[in-house]
Structures are given as structure tokens and as C-alpha cells.
Amino acid sequence: MSPHDRALPDEPDESGAAGRPTADRPGAHPSADLTIDLTAHEMLRRAHVLDALGPDWDPVTALRDEEAAYELLYSGLDAEQQRMYDELVAAGVLPRRGGGHAAA
């Protein structure tokens, strides 16, 4: 059967609904729950990430380097930049670092 040979939906009934019966209409077909387990896919994705990082990747060093980069990013701010930084921290947009102020 080709896609063009499909039957057209039923004519609308008095409620305006057309097509197959639904759960709120008499003679409705039961619905089926669809569950997809992505565990195997997630494990494969993680394996690919670790392969891409290579055997020399050290997560502790990576986190330390990231913290150092943030300290550099928010260091040497002028008064207006410091005010804006403090507002963003207070609003929860940026995480509080150190004593709550950017490094001088």
C-alpha cells in the first residue's frame, strides 16, 4: 500500500472531533506508554568523551585550571565593573567567588 492509498480521517462528529476514537469517546482504543531507555547510548557517549579527552586528562587539574581562569577573568576590575560584577553575583547570575569580590 502506498502512502497515497491511506484512508482519510473520519468525518467530524457532533463534538467536532474527527479521526479515530480517543480516550474520552466511547469505543476508544487504549493508549500505549512509550518508554525509551537511553542508558546504553549515554554510556557510549561517555566513552567517546573520555576517548576524545585522552589518557593524559586529569580532572582535578582541569578544575584547578578553570578556577584560575575565572580568577583572571574577574581580576583587575575598575569601580564600575566591580559594581556590575557584585550586582550579577547578588542576582544569582554569577557564582560568588572568594570573599564575594573580584580579585584586585
Give residue-wise pLDDT tens across range 1-11: 555 566 555 55
pLDDT tens by residue, 54-83: 999 999 999 999 989 988 888 899 999 999
Residues sharing a CB contact under 8 Å with residue 30, sequence separation 6 or more, in sequence order: 23
Q: Residue 36 carries which side chain, given as an amino acid letter?
A: I
Residue located via cell numbers 474527527:
18
Rg (CA), the chain: 29
